[in-house]
Amino acid sequence: MAVYGPHCLNQGKIPTHVAMIMDGNGRWAMSQGQQRTWGHNEGVSSVRKVVCYTNTLGVKYLTLYAFSEENWKRPKAEVDFIFSLVARYLKAEIEELDRQNVFVAYIGDFSKLGDDVQESLAYAQKRLSKNTGLTLIIALSYGSRSEIVHACKSLLVKVQSEEMGIEDIDQEAFSRFLQTSSYPDPDLLIRTSGELRISNFLLWQLAYSELYFSDRMWPEFESWHYLEAVAQYQQRKRRYGTIHSH
Ligand code: IPE
Ligand code: IPE
Ligand code: MG
């Protein structure tokens, strides 16, 4: 085990926004001879730890990919389990999130969510609405291509009603129609489980994010793995297409 602690990172730049694809719950559970749902359950402990560490590090925004648009294709029992877990997590952790001054927000298409799930999301949001610390953005029923198509439609409505002209459309104007319009782009994307893909997550927003892939499955992703990712991020040279400056 590497002897990383938050103090190791004092010298470098802390990312403002970290995004995470929390993957590998099912495979991890199966490897333990358990049902996939057990893996989701255990994954909640990783969420708890990661939120706490994100706060300690002073990261301002944390986006967690909890359920993709494509995940609706999974068996209903697993889908229902995941949503009830999200609702239970928010309920059980509300006091602790409040104590940590966490503000909660969501991205995704909620039209398919049950009323009870929507209510628990709204309740947590309201309860934490005055908080000014870490913004925790939970991506639920989220698909980036859909988000982009939806943004195009909203923009076209503005053009049609002549509130906007074609000449007003630029990258900045377009990004105001995305669900992430209030947040900066992620500086660091972490995906667990060893898969090297984006799986329809924040396609627009990740244009210049640093990518970090961990072989750990999400339920076994510990704080020191997170610190390793941030330490590696601090070594990266972000050039944004320009030439390297020393
Ligand atoms: C990630 O774990 C959680 C969700 C997608 C909801 P998976 O459920 O994808 O687990 P694996 O990737 O099949 O192991
Ligand atoms: C991505 O994981 C979605 C979430 C972690 C919520 P998946 O397990 O759904 O992605 P694929 O199918 O391996 O690309
Ligand atoms: Mg997966």
- 22-41 pLDDT, tens digit per residue, is 999 999 999 999 999 999 99
Q: Which residue owns the Cα nearest ligand 2 atom 9?
A: 71
The model's pTM = 0.96
Q: Contact 52/100 with Cβ under 8 angstroms?
A: yes
The answer to whether residue 143 sits within a structural domain is yes
Distance CA 142, CA 180 (A): 12
**20: burial class by Cβ within 10 Å (0-12, 13-18, 19+)?**
buried
The answer to whether residue 242 sits within a structural domain is no
Candidate list 10, 23, 131, 170, residue with the active-site label? 23
* Cα–Cα separations (whole angstroms), residue 23 to 28, 34, 47, 166: 10, 17, 12, 40
**Does the C-beta of 71 come closer than 6 Å to ligand 1?**
yes
Count CB-CB contacts under 10 A for residue 39. 21
Distance CA 163, CA 169 (A): 12
Q: What is the pLDDT of residues 68-127, one digit of tens each?
A: 999 999 999 999 999 999 999 999 999 999 999 999 999 999 999 999 999 999 999 999
Q: What CATH number is given to the structural domain containing 141?
A: 3.40.1180.10
Residue in 68, 79, 137, 195 to alter for ligand 2 test, most ligand atoms within 8 A of Cβ = 68
Distance CA 70, CA 141 (A): 8
Considering its fold, how many domains does the chain have in total?
Answer: 1
Residue-number span of the structural domain to which 227 is assigned: 6-235
Structure tokens, 64: 């967690």
The answer to whether residue 57 sits within a structural domain is yes
